[in-house]
Amino acid sequence: MTLRRRLVLSIVALVVAVSAVIGGASLIALFSIQTSAIDKQITSATHRAQRYLQQNQSGQPSIDLSRPSGQAAGTLTAYFVDGQVVIANVLDDYGRPSGIPQASAEALGSVRVDADPETIDLGSDVGRYRLAAVNVGPAVLVVGLPMAPVYDSVWKLFAGVLSVLAAALVAGSVVAAFVVRQSLRPLERVAETASTVARMPLDRSDALDGVRVPDTDPRTEVGRVGSAFNRMLGHIAGAMQARERSEQKVRQFVADASHELRTPLASVRGYAELTRRMGGDLPKDVVYAMSRIESESIRMTSMVEDLLLLARLDEGREIQFAEVDLTGLVLDAVNDAHAASPDHVIEIDVPSSPVVVLGDAARLHQVIVNLVTNARTHTPEGTRITVGIAPADGGVDLTVRDTGQGIDPEFLPKLFERFARADSSRSRTVGSTGLGLAIVDAVVQAHGGSVEVASVPGDTVFTVHLPMDPAAAAAAASASDVSADWSGTPAAVDATH
Ligand SMILES: Nc1ncnc2c1ncn2[C@@H]1O[C@H](COP(=O)(O)OP(=O)(O)OP(=O)(O)O)[C@@H](O)[C@H]1O
Ligand SMILES: [Mg+2]
């Protein structure tokens, strides 16, 4: 149940309960006021009847006892001698006495003498009466007045209370719904802002700019929630800015470090190569050591190049858009792979006419080479590798498929992470670093495309989707992709202008 509904129901229930209590108390009060008024009237009527009896007492009880002067219509008068009813009648509206049924008259005998008046039901013909009895000499005089007018007015008040309750129910619901809605509106605005923030991709530090709750009045509870919420958003925005700054610093550091490492590495490699070429009478161990230095420096150079490329892609630089013959790139990569791995069966499956896309030729070449190299190096000899291009959904799909042992399903989610390798011990020996697929992913995303992998033993497929209009796709991706850490790729977007 919503808070609003609960509040409205509580208010209405309260209004109805208070009205019911007031109504009930009024009914009880009215009944007792009227009853005590009747009791007073009975006392006076008894006095009048007593006086009359005393004046007329002559041993002739047949005198018209019910007509003492001043008795009101409906007054019941009865006279008992030795417990026997002598006279019992009621005055009608014209002041004429009329008898009452025998059973009713006998019921009068139960009225307690010289006590407070009591209410007795005298049967359906006569109704309920308030009655008092007094001793008059040896006889007993019973005088009473009908309770019907009391019940009448109580019933009328009851009907009135019911209508007030119904009105309170309707009016209370309407007013409570209005008041609760008005009061909760600021809270709804807080909730709206919170769900807007929840839906937002918080990948940029300025994402929360202008997203604030309008109600911040410190005198109201909701206002205090609103201003606390705004402060929290401010903290989050500040933390995001700090994170972005520190990420920027790290990227810059990696880019600078990789850049700076290139020169000394080139020297190491150059000297090692020079020493090897000079030959001469160097001991075997030294020759071996120099060849290791050379090969490791080559490996380190390529690692540094990869890191530099990733850092630049992160910064949104490095992509130069131009028309690229994707078919040509695939043919080159496959030919190179043939030369490098003669024991693998490498095939191509491309349309007969060249497929041209808009992109960065060098980087797309790297994507194809990385995927084909993986298919070569992480599969056993004899594996069949197929590189294909096919038109797909506003762009082209480049697929690299192999019939190798497949990739461990547990490793798949981490496949495109930096330095991720399924079998680290083996990978290290074949000289892999785990940056190849991270570069594929970063380059493809900078082109506004996507890369997917599906792998079961005997069939592993990497599918790279490249859009025809990379600038628009990259812009759309940077606006919607929360996880992209190279969002806002200005070089990629600008290059097409
Ligand atoms: N076609 C494939 N078949 C089986 N495993 C694969 C395949 N492609 C990638 N892998 C696994 O994914 C891991 C990550 O590949 P990635 O290309 O990122 O790094 P790498 O090949 O190990 O190193 P490098 O940086 O030299 O490319 C690999 O180490 C390998 O375990
Ligand atoms: Mg690789």
Segment 226-279, tens digit of pLDDT: 899 899 999 999 999 998 899 888 888 988 999 899 999 999 999 988 888 887
Predicted pLDDT of residue 483: 36
Tell me, what's the pLDDT at 488?
A: 32
Q: Topology of 202-315 in CATH?
A: Helix Hairpins (1.10.287)
Q: Whose CA is nearest to atom 19 of ligand 1?
A: 434
The pLDDT assigned to 24 comes to 93
Write the DSSP string, 347-407: EEE--SSPPEEEE-HHHHHHHHHHHHHHHHHTS-TT-EEEEEEEEETTEEEEEEEE-SS--
Nearest to 254 by CA among 185, 184, 305: 305
pLDDT at 423: 65
Average of per-residue pLDDT values in the chain: 85
* 307 Cβ closer than 6 Å to some ligand 1 atom: no
Atom of ligand 1 nearest to the CA of 422: 31
Domain pair 202-315 / 319-494, same fold: no
Q: Is the CB of 378 under 6 A from ligand 1?
A: yes
Tell me the pairing of strands 139-146 and 128-136.
antiparallel
pLDDT for the residue numbered 63 = 44
In the prediction, which pLDDT does 463 show?
96
Residue 401 CB–ligand 1 contact under 6 Å:
no
Nearest CA to ligand 1 atom 13: 421
pLDDT at 482: 36
- CB atoms < 10 A from the CB of 390, how many? 13
Q: Give residue-wise pLDDT tens across range 411-470.
A: 999 999 988 887 655 455 556 788 999 999 999 998 989 999 999 999 999 999 999 877
CA distances from residue 155 to 24, 27, 83 in whole angstroms, order as listed: 12, 9, 36
Question: CATH topology for 319-494?
Answer: Heat Shock Protein 90 (3.30.565)
Beta bridge partners of residue 452, listed in sequence order: 463
Residue 434 Cβ contacting ligand 1 at under 6 Å: yes
| pLDDT the model gives residue 190 | 87
Please give the pLDDT value at position 146. 94
Ligand 1 centroid distance, CA of 416 (Å) = 9
DSSP 460: E
Residues in the chain with pLDDT values less than 70: 54-69, 423-431, 471-497
Report the pLDDT value the prediction gives residue 430, as an integer from 0 to 100: 59
pLDDT at 480: 46
Q: Where are the domains of the chain?
A: 3-154, 202-315, 319-494
Distance between CA atoms of 87 and 84, rounded to whole angstroms?
Answer: 9
Residue 68: per-residue pLDDT = 52
Which residue type sits at 178?
F
Best mutation site among 379, 387, 432, 433 for ligand 1, i.e. most ligand atoms within 8 A of its Cβ?
Answer: 432
Which architecture characterizes domain 3-154 according to CATH?
2-Layer Sandwich (3.30)
